[in-house]
Amino acid sequence: MQATVAERILEYAQGQPEGTVLGAKELLHLAARPAVDQALRRLAGKNELLKLYRGAYVRPVETKFGRRAPEPAKVVESIRRTQAETVVPHGASEAHALGLTTQVPTRIVYLTSGKSRTLMLGAQVIKMKHAPRWMLMASPGGAGRVVRALEWLGERRASAALMSLKQTLPLSQVQELVMVRPALPRWLAKSIGEALVAHG
């Protein structure tokens, strides 16, 4: 008996790594577009697939305790790879990782070169916010992380944070921060210059 379009889609989804985002375009080798769209809606209605946002789905992970949503980081990585987007952690997460705040982010937020959207992963909500290029810096020395943290902290708190980071960051990272100033907003470039250049 020939498999239905929904069965073929499910079989294909089960062969993909956890968190792989599926859309109709990736599934046109299985059937014509209208049939694929209909099958995706049917699978989402039966919870065989989770609808992330319009036109995007993921397969839930089967465990011995039942089904769970895939790991958010794996879903975001799939979007980054398949959509050719730059995706980086939000400044609040970067500030916490750098020890600049004890405030633990309560929401999962990423910055992206793509469009802003909200991903629904079961009970979890992931925000992807469009950001300007200077905030998406994925620098080899890690200056991009500091830039995002400082942007989140804001102009008022940036100087104190930079003086603290000057004591903890490797020299190569400090030098990289100084070098990227031309790409940054004026207030941020000024804060970096005053903290890391003017004071030697």
Give me the pLDDT at residue 127, please. 95
Overall number of domains in the chain: 2
Question: 18 is written with which tokens?
Answer: 């956890």
Question: Is residue 60, in this structure, part of any structural domain at all?
Answer: yes
Average pLDDT, integer, range 79-106: 90
Give me the pLDDT at residue 173, please. 87
Measured distance CA(76)–CA(126) in Å, rounded? 9
Cα-based torsion angle of the residue sequence 175, 176, 177, 183 in order, rounded to the nearest 10 degrees: 130
Range of 48's domain? 5-68
Question: Is residue 186, in this structure, part of any structural domain at all?
Answer: yes
Give me the pLDDT at residue 49, please. 94
Same domain, 101 and 192: yes
Cβ neighbors of 111 (< 8 A, separation 6 or more) are 87, 88, 89, 90, 91, 128, 129, 130, 131, 135, 136, 148
| CA geometry: angle 105, 107, 112, nearest 5 deg | 100
Residue 200 has pLDDT above 70, yes or no: no
Give me the pLDDT at residue 96, please. 92
Question: Is residue 80, in this structure, part of any structural domain at all?
Answer: no
In this structure, which amino acid lies at residue 79?
Answer: I
DSSP letter at 169 equals: S
Give me the pLDDT at residue 140, please. 66
Residue 31 has pLDDT above 70, yes or no: yes
Same domain, 38 and 123: no
Q: What are the pLDDT digits (tens) for 144-189? A: 999 999 999 999 999 999 999 998 889 888 899 999 999 999 999 9
Q: What are the pLDDT digits (tens) for 110-134? A: 999 999 999 988 888 999 999 999 9
Question: Is residue 74, in this structure, part of any structural domain at all?
Answer: no
Question: Is residue 33, in this structure, part of any structural domain at all?
Answer: yes
% of the chain at pLDDT higher than 70: 97
Measured distance CA(33)–CA(186) in Å, rounded? 49
- The domain boundary, picked from 68, 98, 117, lies at 68
pLDDT band at residue 8, thresholds of 50, 70 and 90? Answer: very high
Same domain, 48 and 99: no
Report the range of poorest mean pLDDT among 9-18, 34-43, 107-116, 137-146: 137-146
Residue 1 has pLDDT above 80, yes or no: no
- The domain boundary, picked from 42, 68, 94, lies at 68
Give me the pLDDT at residue 2, please. 58
Task: Decide: 148 and 181 in contact? Cβ < 8 Å.
Answer: no
Question: Is residue 76, in this structure, part of any structural domain at all?
Answer: no
Question: Is residue 79, in this structure, part of any structural domain at all?
Answer: no
Q: What is the CATH number of the domain that holds 40?
A: 1.10.10
C-alpha dist (Å) from residue 162 to 91, 135, 143, 152: 15, 17, 12, 13
Same domain, 124 and 190: yes
C-alpha dist (Å) from residue 23 to 68, 113, 156, 174: 20, 20, 43, 42
Same domain, 93 and 164: yes
Q: What are the pLDDT digits (tens) for 57-73? A: 999 998 888 888 999 99
Centroid of chain to Cα 73: 7
Same domain, 63 and 90: no
